[in-house]
Amino acid sequence: MKKGQMLLELVVAIGVAMMALMAIIATGLMIDMYDYFTKPSDRPSTVAAATDVTRRGSARSISNLSADVALPVIAQCESGGRQFDEDGNLIRNPESSAIGKYQIMASLHEKRAESLGFDIRTEEGNEGYARHLYQESGTQHWEADQRSKGCWGPVLRILARGHKPLKGFEVTMRREWTENIPFPTRGETRVDWMPKSLVTYQVMTSDGKITTFRGVESKDVSSRLSPGVRFRVLDADSAVINIVPSKTG
């Protein structure tokens, strides 16, 4: 009788221990699943390979840049920093109603600008209203034109990090890999780039790793690269990409 009771107690004890162990395992599994679904930033990207090329953004937002810093860069990309051409004619976009130094859309903004006391057809008024737009919504007004954004975007990101942009250059990507892209500094260099059209393209680093950027994903890229990087476009015959190294020291 005593042996049977002892055996029963042993079976019960083993059963309780097994249930406790299963509870511990289930709790750990639930924690792992919670972390997986709530912390996507800790997981490798399924869009692009987890290489040094995929680093984006900046320590400080572009919107934190003052108008005195950001607007001259935008103006240079929009109009070459000019309100009028060499013959005294107002700089115009032949494809839209954009005019002046900051290529402000007259059809959308002229009446509003006038109500605020700005004549966007004059350099002073164009400048004043551009400052008003920047204070109101940052770079939003100038983001619709990917060609322009591809020019000023990399430069402003570098400035937002507190670094100094070096002389940038443009590269025409085609379906074949470009030649090795030279950089003005030796060794690894911080580089920002942006295509001037929404295209799907690839980047090959000097170690042979290839990363693909698709459409909207391709707009903002910042990375540390070594000489020997190459580019190619996948969904167009050609596309221009603006590359701007920066001095971080």
Of 225 and 118, the one with more pLDDT: 118
In the structure encoding, which two tokens stand for residue 207, read together?
Answer: 């170690």
- Token pair belonging to 51: 């290489």
Neighbours of 150 (CB within 10 A): 23
> Assign residue 88 a region: left if phi > 0, alpha if psi is -120 to 50, beta otherwise?
left
Taking only the tens place, the pLDDT of each residue in 89-105 is 999 999 999 999 999 99
Look up residue 85 and give its two tokens.
């051409």
Q: Work out the number of other CB atoms within 10 angstroms of the CB of residue 172.
A: 11
pLDDT, one tens digit per residue, over 22-67 is 555 444 434 333 333 333 333 332 223 323 454 444 435 787 899 9
DSSP type of residue 89: P
Percent of the chain with pLDDT over 70: 72
CA angle 62, 158, 133 (to 5 degrees): 30
Residue 236, judged by CB atoms within 10 A of its CB (0-12, 13-18, 19+), counts as middle
pLDDT for res 79: 97
pLDDT for 10-25, tens place per residue?
A: 655 666 566 655 555 4
Predicted TM-score of the model (pTM):
0.70
